């Protein structure tokens, strides 16, 4: 019996009898077509089995749990009404697509979810013809849908194929979603937009529009009575149809009042709903009704994030949006910030207690960025703007102009969405905004879209930007104080996910200076942030081979400490190590600074180690860093190889 079956036994899930053996209905589903012969009771059984399977799978690998528990019936209905891959199903955000993966032939691979060489936690074009867009960054799918629908229209395939865009789990708080809606309404392209309204992203969704859309979810009697009255009036002989139309007109007028200016229809997009997203029959009825609508149409679906798993339903913070490895019987442990995130959480509270001007801003991620304790302590100084990174950064600039000291807590990978704002709205105006970039560097299980490897290369291009890279928890806390003391322009502190080193006081730097960790003569290793530990390991390995290494903790990537640069230049070889892109990153800046010491730019060779110019697939961070030669053994091997090449008879002299 499989592990999923074992879980089913524990939680008392129903079975179908198939001959002499108990067989889960889920095990008979290998493709979307297998769903279409199921009756109501079988669909209900299947939905329960899918939830059990998802809980079991994510308990082993970790993953996005609550989001997928909430879309089970919705996904069943979509695949019964539409014919994927002929019809194009698009997901935003892509972490809602586990059920879609299960129904499209990938159930047997879920033990590899988010593992090296395994299933992606998002849709993947490499995995299946049913997947179109990886889409792990939110609010983009309506633009994709507009583009795909335009291509179908111009190629003459619009009549035979449908485009369906599922958007939700907070994605409607991002401005790009409204740009897509606006252009869909203007163009009239045939797209069915399924608005999965669960009221949340990571945390409860921040949006007056989402509040307006879900006003009626609190009044189910309104929906039932509306439908009942229309049905009864429609049965009145002779004039029933006219009475029914009159009520529909009145309903439209009420909707104009309840939903200001009927937002979507004012943009040229028809609106239908709200619909119970956990009623497969109702969902199917509505989807079949709108399937052939000649233009864009929104189906507003109400779902419950975390549905069917008590621990997710009871998690008021994020409905177990994402979960680590856990025991499915006892549920995941209560979430609390750890490592560098914990150090940041403590530091920003301490800073806010010292200075009432300090405020915190996040983009729909108060828990992952460690700001929940800050929110509880300073609710009036905490701002969650939804999935709106561009707005977060420009709003921070405005707050700084007004005399506040804003701290923008954001994942490194999501800062790339707001680089223009960081450059021109903050940098150009020399505003003292502090960017705290969590999950910087190689992040691991979430794959190429979540590695935070671009932040240094981008922020180095912003004039006046100060960039800190802590190598320990204590360094991060010191650096936040240093960053808040800078008033001449913006600053950024980049730090990785996971455990943070705790070091003695004498191993904590200060100000904008680098810190020399050890002294040698043969090679100088300039290590950025997390890679200091790898550089120290490399130095010990080099000692065993008779190579004496100096190691510096760079600490501040911009401006670079001139004493560190001068010391590096006296060595016959300099090696830089960073967990960011090699081209145009911190190492390139250090190599340039060393060359600038001499008018003729004669300098010792500088070997720049960093991430390559390619998308890096999912795996554990330590495995990825080792494969890239960014662990201790890899750095040492690169040093030995370079030194041997320099002394080879064939090398240029």
Could you tell me which residues come within 8 angstroms of residue 111 by beta carbon, excluding any fewer than 6 positions away? 57, 60, 61, 118
Chain centre distance of CA 46: 29
Q: What is the pLDDT of residues 626-642, one digit of tens each?
A: 999 999 999 999 999 99
Task: Beginning with the edge strand found earlier in the chain, give each strand of the sheet holding 297-302 in spatial order.
Answer: 88-92, 163-168, 192-197, 297-302, 270-276
- The average pLDDT across 553-571 equals 97
Could you tell me which residues come within 8 angstroms of residue 127 by beta carbon, excluding any fewer than 6 positions away? 101, 106, 119, 120
* Euclidean distance between the first and the last CA atom of the chain, given in angstroms as a whole number: 68
- Dump the DSSP string for 193-230: EEEEE-SBSSSB---HHHHHHTGGGG-HHHHHHHHHHH
Handedness of CA 412, 58, 138, 215 (dihedral sign): negative
Strands 523-527, 574-581: pairing kind? parallel
Domains of the chain, start order = 3-219+261-323 (3.40.50.970), 339-494 (3.40.50.970), 517-646 (3.40.50.920)
Compare 635 and 325 and report the one with higher pLDDT. Answer: 635
pLDDT bracket for residue 233 (50, 70, 90) = low
pLDDT bracket for residue 243 (50, 70, 90) = low
Q: What would the two tokens of residue 142 be?
A: 């309506």
Backbone torsion region of residue 615, taken as left when φ is above 0, otherwise alpha when ψ lies between -120 and 50, otherwise beta = beta
Angle at 579 between CA 576 and CA 583, to 5 degrees: 65
pLDDT of residue 562: 97
Class of residue 528 by CB neighbours under 10 A (exposed 0-12, middle 13-18, buried 19+): buried
Q: What is the pLDDT of residues 194-219, one digit of tens each?
A: 999 887 544 455 544 544 444 444 44
Q: What is the pLDDT of residues 343-388, one digit of tens each?
A: 999 999 999 999 999 999 999 889 999 999 999 999 999 999 988 9
Angle at 253 between CA 212 and CA 299, to 5 degrees: 50
Class of residue 214 by CB neighbours under 10 A (exposed 0-12, middle 13-18, buried 19+): middle
Q: What is the pLDDT of residues 44-102, one digit of tens each?
A: 999 999 999 999 999 999 888 888 999 999 999 999 999 999 999 999 988 899 999 99
pLDDT of residue 538: 98
Is residue 349 within a helix (H) or strand (E), and if so which, with residue range?
helix 339-354
pLDDT bracket for residue 509 (50, 70, 90) = very high
CA dist list (Å): 119 to 54, 203, 481: 14, 26, 42
Answer yes or no: are the C-beta atoms of 615 and 585 closer than 8 Å: no
Q: What would the two tokens of residue 444 be?
A: 């691991």
Bridge partners (DSSP) listed for residue 466: 491
- The average pLDDT across 148-158 equals 94
Task: Beginning with the edge strand found earlier in the chain, give each strand of the sheet holding 556-558 in spatial order.
Answer: 382-384, 358-362, 405-411, 434-438, 491-494, 466-468, 556-558
> Closest by alpha carbon to 11, among 65, 75, 55?
55
Global pTM?
A: 0.86
The pLDDT of residue 255 is above 50:
no
Q: Quick one: the chain helix, strand, coil %, rounded to 5? A: 45, 15, 40
Taking residue 402's Cβ as centre, other Cβ atoms within 10 Å add up to 9
Residue with tokens 């304790």: 373
pLDDT of residue 312: 85
- The average pLDDT across 331-340 equals 84
Phi and psi dihedrals of 601, rounded to 5?
Answer: 60, 35
CA–CA gap between residue 127 and residue 568 (Å, rounded): 47
CA–CA gap between residue 271 and residue 264 (Å, rounded): 6
CA–CA gap between residue 441 and residue 419 (Å, rounded): 17
Answer yes or no: are the C-beta atoms of 566 and 597 closer than 8 Å: yes
pLDDT of residue 622: 94
The pLDDT of residue 495 is above 70:
yes
Q: What would the two tokens of residue 467 be?
A: 């960039």
CA–CA gap between residue 252 and residue 250 (Å, rounded): 5
Bridge partners (DSSP) listed for residue 204: 200
pLDDT bracket for residue 494 (50, 70, 90) = very high
pLDDT of residue 471: 97
Taking residue 73's Cβ as centre, other Cβ atoms within 10 Å add up to 26
CA–CA gap between residue 339 and residue 370 (Å, rounded): 10
> Closest by alpha carbon to 307, among 200, 442, 405?
200
Is residue 400 within a helix (H) or strand (E), and if so which, with residue range?
helix 389-401
The pLDDT of residue 244 is above 90:
no
Strands 63-64, 21-23: pairing kind? unpaired
pLDDT bracket for residue 498 (50, 70, 90) = confident
Compare 218 and 438 and report the one with higher pLDDT. Answer: 438
Answer yes or no: are the C-beta atoms of 553 and 517 closer than 8 Å: yes
> Is 64 in a helix, a strand, or coil?
strand
CA–CA gap between residue 26 and residue 53 (Å, rounded): 9
- The average pLDDT across 499-524 equals 95
- Percent over 70 (pLDDT), the chain: 86
Answer yes or no: are the C-beta atoms of 371 and 362 closer than 8 Å: yes
pLDDT of residue 428: 98
Please report which residue ranges of 62-127 form alpha helices under DSSP H: 66-69, 72-81, 98-101
- The average pLDDT across 20-41 equals 87
Average pLDDT score, the chain: 87
Bridge partners (DSSP) listed for residue 192: 164, 297
Q: What is the pLDDT of residues 282-297, one digit of tens each?
A: 999 999 999 999 999 9
Query: Highest-confidence range of 233-242, 329-338, 514-523, 595-604, by mean pLDDT?
Result: 514-523
pLDDT of residue 481: 97
Could you tell me which residues come within 8 angstroms of residue 653 by beta carbon, excluding any fewer than 6 positions away? none
Q: Dihedral of the CA atoms 291, 294, 296, 301 (nearest 10)?
A: -30
Active site residues: 305, 389, 417
- The average pLDDT across 441-447 equals 90
> Closest by alpha carbon to 287, among 37, 75, 67, 26?
75
- Percent over 90 (pLDDT), the chain: 69
């Amino acid at each position: 019996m499989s592990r999923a079956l074992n879980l089913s036994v524990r939680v008392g899930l129903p079975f179908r009898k198939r001959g002499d053996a108990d067989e889960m209905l889920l095990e008979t589903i290998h493709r979307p077509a297998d769903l279409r012969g199921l009756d109501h009771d079988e669909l209900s059984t299947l939905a329960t089995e899918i939830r059990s399977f998802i809980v079991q799978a994510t308990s082993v690998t970790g993953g996005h749990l609550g989001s997928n528990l909430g879309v089970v019936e919705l996904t069943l209905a979509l695949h019964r009404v539409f014919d994927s891959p002929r019809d194009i199903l698009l997901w935003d955000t892509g972490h809602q697509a586990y059920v879609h993966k299960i129904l499209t032939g990938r159930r047997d691979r879920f033990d590899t979810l988010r593992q090296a060489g395994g299933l992606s936690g998002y849709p993947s074009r490499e995995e299946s013809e049913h997947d179109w867009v990886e889409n792990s960054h939110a609010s983009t799918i309506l633009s994709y849908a507009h583009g795909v629908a335009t291509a179908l229209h111009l190629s003459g395939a619009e009549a035979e194929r449908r485009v369906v865009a599922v958007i939700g789990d907070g994605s409607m708080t991002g401005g790009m979603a409204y740009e897509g809606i606006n252009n869909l309404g203007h163009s009239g392209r045939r797209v069915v937009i399924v608005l999965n309204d669960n009221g949340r992203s990571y945390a409860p969704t921040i949006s007056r529009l989402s509040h307006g859309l879900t006003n009626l979810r609190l009044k189910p009697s309104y929906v039932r009575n509306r439908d009942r009255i229309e049905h009864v009036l429609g049965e009145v002989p002779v004039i029933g149809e006219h009475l029914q139309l009159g009520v529909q007109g009145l309903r439209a007028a009420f909707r104009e009042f309840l939903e200001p200016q009927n937002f979507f229809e004012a943009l040229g997009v028809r609106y239908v709903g709200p619909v119970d997203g956990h009623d497969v029959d109702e969902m199917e009825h509505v989807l079949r009704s709108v399937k052939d609508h000649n233009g864009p149409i929104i189906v507003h679906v109400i779902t419950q994030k975390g549905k069917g798993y008590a621990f997710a339903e009871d998690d008021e913070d994020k409905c177990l949006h994402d979960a680590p490895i856990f025991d499915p019987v006892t549920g995941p442990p209560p979430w609390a910030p750890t490592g560098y995130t914990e150090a940041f959480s403590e530091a920003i509270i301490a800073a806010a207690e010292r200075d009432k001007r300090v405020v915190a801003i996040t983009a729909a991620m108060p828990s992952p960025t460690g700001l929940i304790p800050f929110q509880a302590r300073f609710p009036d100084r905490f701002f969650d703007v939804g999935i709106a990174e561009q707005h977060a950064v420009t709003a921070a600039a405005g707050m700084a102009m007004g005399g506040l000291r804003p701290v923008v807590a954001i994942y490194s990978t999501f800062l790339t969405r707001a680089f223009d704002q960081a450059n021109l709205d903050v940098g150009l105006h020399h505003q003292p905004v502090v960017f705290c970039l969590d999950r910087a560097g190689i992040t691991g299980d979430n794959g190429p879209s979540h590695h935070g490897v671009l932040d240094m290369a981008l922020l180095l291009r912003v004039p006046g930007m100060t960039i800190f890279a802590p190598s320990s928890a204590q360094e991060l806390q010191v650096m936040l104080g240093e960053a808040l003391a800078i008033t001449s322009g913006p600053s950024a502190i980049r730090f990785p996910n996971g455990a943070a080193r705790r070091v003695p006081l004498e191993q904590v730097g200060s100000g904008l200076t680098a810190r020399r960790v050890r002294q040698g003569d043969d090679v100088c290793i300039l290590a950025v942030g997390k890679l200091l530990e790898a550089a120290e390991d490399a130095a010990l390995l080099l000692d065993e081979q008779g190579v004496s290494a100096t190691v510096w903790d760079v600490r501040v990537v911009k401006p670079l400490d001139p004493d560190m640069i001068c010391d590096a230049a006296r060595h016959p070889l300099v090696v830089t190590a960073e967990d960011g892109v090699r081209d145009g990153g911190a190492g390139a800046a250090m190599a340039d600074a060393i060359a600038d010491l001499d008018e003729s730019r004669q300098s010792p060779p500088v070997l720049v180690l960093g991430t390559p110019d390619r998308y890096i697939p999912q795996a554990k961070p330590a495995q990825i860093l080792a494969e890239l030669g960014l662990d201790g053994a890899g750095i040492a091997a690169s040093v030995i190889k370079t030194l041997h090449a320099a002394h080879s008879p064939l090398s240029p002299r």
